[in-house]
């Protein structure tokens, strides 16, 4: 795998027209009328040639005004689709793939928005470095007045370059890949609640495709600043980790050892966390107690592990989750 950092690409107009492949941007959404509006506003304003990309939004059984919001962008060429058979963001992404016409797929989430050069920079990375799979930079954005949850999200946010280098995947909030990858390894595993992007990235890596990281292809993601969002996210991550080990034990390890190993119930050391938070430039203006954020780290670890245990116990009892 190769990691490409610090792209110096500045003059988008200089790229030969033959290097502008057709791109299908796929966004799953569920009950997020406000978020999808901001997301689509950024997607229809891209510097990439408009005739060379399409935006497909896949509604996963929303029951608010999400459909109406998406439909209001139909004049801008946004395609509305539905995934009603399975409540899964991965099923929604697969639905988008099935109706797309692109040579390259780009993925982001409804609660995020992207830089105007997001597509162009990612395509440059695919072309220039001959990558098949490219992860994007994701910047968490907080709005003052900052809360301890904002600071926690800024500290523990998306470290996509590190994820790609260590674990061979990036979250689908910022991912581009060639259609040929899907043709060879298949689509996302729709059973996942979370961590389906991890399993998919490992599949890509194991098949020998070239993976890269474009720090100039930027996605913006709001911090989660309510405890309801905090718990929902970490419960989902814990369940996803359990699914990884349940469905793919040879790749991701024993489900039972993770339940009984005390290491999985502990956060990183306080001194490591303190050093990491102080080195994070994105939080230099956030004046919340490091002790409070460390407590959230511990709470996050426990919530994820207890959710993991819950899924495994139900699976062992052979109940449908």
Across the range 108-113, mean pLDDT stands at 98
pLDDT band for 191, please (50, 70, 90 cuts): very high
CA atoms within 13 A on the CB side of 39: 28
pLDDT score for 208: 98
Residue 204's Cβ-count burial label (10 Å; 0-12, 13-18, 19+) is buried
pLDDT score for 3: 41
- How far apart, in whole angstroms, are the C-alpha atoms of residue 168 and residue 164? 4
Structure tokens at 204: 């890509």
Domains of the chain: 12-222 (3.90.550.10), 227-316 (no CATH)
pTM: 0.89
pLDDT band for 271, please (50, 70, 90 cuts): confident
Mean pLDDT taken over the chain: 90
- How far apart, in whole angstroms, are the C-alpha atoms of residue 69 and residue 234? 28
Q: Is the pLDDT of residue 285 over 70?
A: no
Residue 166's Cβ-count burial label (10 Å; 0-12, 13-18, 19+) is exposed
To the nearest 10 degrees (0 to 180), the angle between helices 270-279 and 148-155 is 90
Other beta carbons less than 10 A from residue 233's beta carbon: 16
- Determine the Cα angle at 100 with ends 138 and 13, to 5°: 60
pLDDT score for 239: 97
- Determine the Cα angle at 216 with ends 131 and 225, to 5°: 115
For every residue of 255-302, which 3-state class applies, written as one string?
HHHHHHCHHHHCCCCHHHHHHHHHHCHHHCCCCCCHHHHHHHHHHHHH
DSSP-derived 3-state class of residue 106: strand
Q: Is the pLDDT of residue 16 over 60?
A: no
Across the range 96-114, mean pLDDT stands at 98
What residues form DSSP beta bridges with 138? Answer: 219
Q: Is the pLDDT of residue 60 over 90?
A: yes
pLDDT band for 211, please (50, 70, 90 cuts): very high
pLDDT band for 281, please (50, 70, 90 cuts): low
The tens digit of pLDDT for each residue in 226-243 reads: 999 999 999 999 999 999
Other beta carbons less than 10 A from residue 315's beta carbon: 17
pLDDT score for 75: 97
The tens digit of pLDDT for each residue in 131-187 reads: 999 999 999 999 877 888 988 888 888 889 999 999 999 999 999 999 999 999 999
pLDDT band for 278, please (50, 70, 90 cuts): low
- Label residues 106-145 b or e (16+ Cβ within 10 Å = b): bbbbbbbbbbebbbbbbbbbbbebebbbbbbbbbbebeee
The tens digit of pLDDT for each residue in 286-317 reads: 445 678 888 999 999 999 999 999 999 998 88
């Amino acid at each position: 795998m190769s990691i490409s950092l610090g792209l110096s690409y500045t003059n988008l107009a200089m790229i030969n027209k033959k290097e502008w492949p057709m791109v299908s941007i796929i966004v799953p959404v569920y009950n997020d009328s406000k978020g999808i509006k901001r997301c689509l506003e950024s997607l229809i304003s891209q510097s990439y040639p408009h005739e060379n990309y399409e935006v497909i939004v896949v509604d996963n059984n929303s029951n608010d005004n999400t459909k109406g919001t998406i439909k209001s962008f139909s004049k801008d060429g946004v395609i509305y689709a539905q995934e009603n058979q399975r409540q899964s963001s991965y099923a929604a992404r697969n639905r988008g793939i099935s109706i797309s016409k692109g040579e390259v797929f780009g993925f982001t989430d409804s609660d995020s928005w992207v830089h105007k050069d997001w597509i162009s920079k990612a395509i440059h990375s695919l072309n220039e470095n001959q990558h098949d799979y490219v992860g994007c930079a994701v910047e968490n954005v907080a709005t003052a007045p900052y809360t301890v949850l904002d600071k926690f999200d800024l500290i523990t946010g998306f470290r996509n370059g590190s994820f790609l280098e260590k674990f061979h995947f990036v979250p689908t909030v910022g991912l581009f890949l060639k259609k040929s990858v899907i043709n060879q390894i298949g689509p996302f595993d729709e059973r996942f609640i979370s961590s389906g992007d991890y399993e998919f990235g490992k599949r890509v890596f194991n098949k020998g495709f070239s993976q890269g990281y474009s720090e100039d292809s930027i996605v913006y993601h709001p911090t989660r600043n309510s405890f309801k969002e905090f718990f929902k996210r970490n419960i989902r991550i814990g369940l996803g980790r359990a699914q990884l080990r349940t469905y793919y034990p040879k790749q991701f390890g024993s489900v039972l050892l993770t339940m009984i190993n005390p290491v999985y119930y502990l956060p990183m050391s306080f001194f490591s966390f303190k050093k990491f938070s102080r080195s994070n430039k994105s939080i230099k203006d956030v004046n919340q107690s490091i002790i409070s954020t460390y407590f959230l780290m511990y709470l996050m670890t426990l919530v994820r592990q207890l959710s993991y245990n819950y899924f495994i116990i139900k699976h062992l009892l052979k109940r449908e989750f």
